[in-house]
Structure 1
């Protein structure tokens, strides 16, 4: 795998402490939605510290987390967070792993210094080329990930999530659809502006392109099953399914 600059390395250790108070209730809701749809095996794409897995395990759901940041995976590999250990990601690998050399669950993922660290249930992987077979999971999660990516990359990640699972649950920023939701949308922009740089530019493009609603409008082959509003309408949970088995969502 080509060398990759880990943009999260400088704040991975503080990520959970800063965001858990705001996101843990959302993670619990996502876990309940997974259970309600009968999802027994879930992949959390762009999982970060894999905090979502803690809530999935409480509901008896096996999980694999995939992320391109070794620093974030390492931050989430402590005994209270390695909640995916019941699932061996190697069992989800098809004949064509698509990404040779990436670490799977139970295998050592190595940092830049070459020292190995086992990350149970965590996979160092690019979200646009996941090392899993088609339909390896019951559901794929994309939680506050797509707004960070360029438009083409966000769609590619969405398509890849629906390749490895027939059900995809997106949690991300939304466009206000009522005047009462405008304060929520403005509030969600504050932390993105504070991060700045490419992150802020991608967020602005995501919102200018219609946020999650715009992504779904531009995508065919996907059906919306359920939606919930979060943070005064500034974000939402979207439960989506592939309309036909084996059909990849297409950008219109």
Structure 2
């Protein structure tokens, strides 16, 4: 498969710089391709890992922000690791854990629901929240601050999930705030770069049950879709 996710200045020190569009994380083409569910999901995890391996926080900000001041504010306000997320029709959690380990994610777990994506899907459907499980796999042990991938698993008909995949609903690159006090500066930096808060959430974001944190999605148009950055904001203390 064409490797279109390696981009920017690589963590290993190589200086090759590819087109800006390649800094955008996407597994849309993989999810819509032909093949077995296992092979497609495994390739999505490989795509996620390649993107994470190829891009640091500084790389991401270099590509998506135009102003050095905005880059500096965000870079100094967040931890130095990334996560990525996407919706998938693959729903076998035990199988997902095994496939994650095969491609290099060393720990994984699932939770009952993703409050944020459940609400977004409900917003798009014009009704109540759509139950959505969350699978998370990390490159290190679970108590480490390290890169990870989130996979959202909506409880919805397959054709509808395919439509969300096609529209890249839920797809994002995520950063974790060091302290809640940095949020006003983060908000100003994203607004200066013409990002808007996702329409289904308010300026303060959405609480993440059981995590003592809130989540804010900043996004702006990109090509025929949008580019989205999640700011995960843990509570003080």
Flag whether TM exceeds 0.5 (same fold). no
With normalisation by structure 1, the TM-score equals: 0.26
With normalisation by structure 2, the TM-score equals: 0.27
